[in-house]
Structure 1
């Protein structure tokens, strides 16, 4: 257990030093949040939800999905190609601890992303929600990221690092755009609205949006 905790700590430190992770999970979601709430104003409504609250949930999910899908898959692929996995097999680290430490450390980083984005919304844009709603939304987004972590791990098994980078980015951006994270589904053409219903990113967002109504 001590070795596993040490591996988790090392993974968190390494990921925080990764500029790609910081850009996709923190900088880009925060920038998009301020840009689009500034363009459209804070007081418009999306259904029964205030825009700045609605888009805060969208961008928080956007950041969490970026870390869970793109960061995890690319790191897995890179380390496999560099022989890091083979090297770990001759260490005392238990079987499966490598994968567990990746998922556990990314889950902790996702929690940090959620807290940071919520603070940005509350302090930077004055988003005011009941304490229980903050907690429920945070738990929903944190636990809802697990399938994307699993998908990121699966993509990381692809041998070509370049292919993993392309596939993960296409999936990440495609699901974010078509799933209603960048813009409300209500603003999309009919065909795109129907497509969004089938995407996991839309269902992920829908749970958080419904909690802030």
Structure 2
């Protein structure tokens, strides 16, 4: 398992999409949309929403990559190794979650330079940790899409899922601007509960138990779907 982890880590580091798609895009979006600060929304609130937007984008990138691996026959190679599906999924999900760190750091730096956002070392550390760990359900979702869809449609579906989750979860526009029905829907979205980890951490508050429960449920659901999609894909290969 550790050899597989090292192998996948090297592949991740060499992937240029991490910089262009999940770092540069969210920073530019933050600089454009940072005017949302006001009306009860602090610069830190907007910064964390856009950092979450970039983190989810980076983590879901695994879907398109995994779909390509299927087409290249890589899953057939993994199938003949002693690695069980749950370990393959765990390694992929762990490395996918690492994609969350660069956009959070980059948007955080932009917030510091653009609006002077200052949280203190302890809160920055808590923010970074929670926004890394909180991406696990999205990593599993990306794997489910990658293992379950063909390369021809995986990228398009991945983008639509990402955009829908970002909008409905209030990452691009604060949910207080939503009508009541959409506000209620946002509360069960994993993206909203994920960003909530960052918002509460920046305010010096512990995670909200109901939010943790929502994320845990989505993690279990996405994990089960990803494992099933992997088995079916490997069997077809």
Pairwise TM-score range, normalised by the shorter structure: 0.7 to 0.9
Give the match for residue 32 of structure 1.
Answer: 29
What is the rounded CA distance, in whole Å, between the counterparts of 1:135 and 1:165 in structure 2?
33
* Distance 1:186-1:2 versus aligned 2 partners, 3 A rule: closer
Q: Contact conserved, 1:4 with 1:93, CA < 8 A, in 2?
A: no
Q: Contact conserved, 2:27 with 2:106, CA < 8 A, in 1?
A: no
Give the match for residue 66 of structure 2.
Answer: 76
Q: How many aligned positions are there?
A: 202
Question: 1:56: Cα distance to partner?
Answer: 0.9
What is the rounded CA distance, in whole Å, between the counterparts of 1:141 and 1:100 in structure 2?
18
Q: Secondary structure at the match of 1:171?
A: helix
Deviations 1:52-110 (A, max 9, x none): 101111111111111112x11111111101212224556x7855565444333323332
Give the match for residue 170 of structure 1.
Answer: 160
Q: How does 1:1-213 map to 2 (within 5 A)?
A: 3-15=3-15, 17-18=16-17, 21-37=18-34, 39-40=35-36, 44-46=38-40, 49-50=41-42, 52-69=43-60, 71-88=61-78, 94=83, 99-213=89-203
Question: 1:5: Cα distance to partner?
Answer: 4.5
Q: List structure 1 runs of 4+ shifted beyond 6 angstroms.
A: none
Q: Contact conserved, 2:130 with 2:197, CA < 8 A, in 1?
A: yes
- TM-score, normalised to structure 1's length? 0.83
* Distance 1:105-1:93 versus aligned 2 partners, 3 A rule: farther
What is the rounded CA distance, in whole Å, between the counterparts of 2:94 and 2:180 in structure 1?
39
Structure 1 residue runs of 5 or longer lacking an equivalent are none
Deviations 1:7-36 (A, max 9, x none): 133222232x23xx4333111210111111
- TM-score, normalised to structure 2's length? 0.75
What is the rounded CA distance, in whole Å, between the counterparts of 1:195 and 1:100 in structure 2?
29
Structure 2 residue runs of 5 or longer lacking an equivalent are 204-237
* Distance 1:14-1:100 versus aligned 2 partners, 3 A rule: farther
What is the rounded CA distance, in whole Å, between the counterparts of 1:116 and 1:164 in structure 2?
27
Question: 1:207: Cα distance to partner?
Answer: 2.3
Aligned-CA RMSD value? 2.3
Deviations 1:158-191 (A, max 9, x none): 2412332222211110010111111110111222
Question: 1:148: Cα distance to partner?
Answer: 0.6
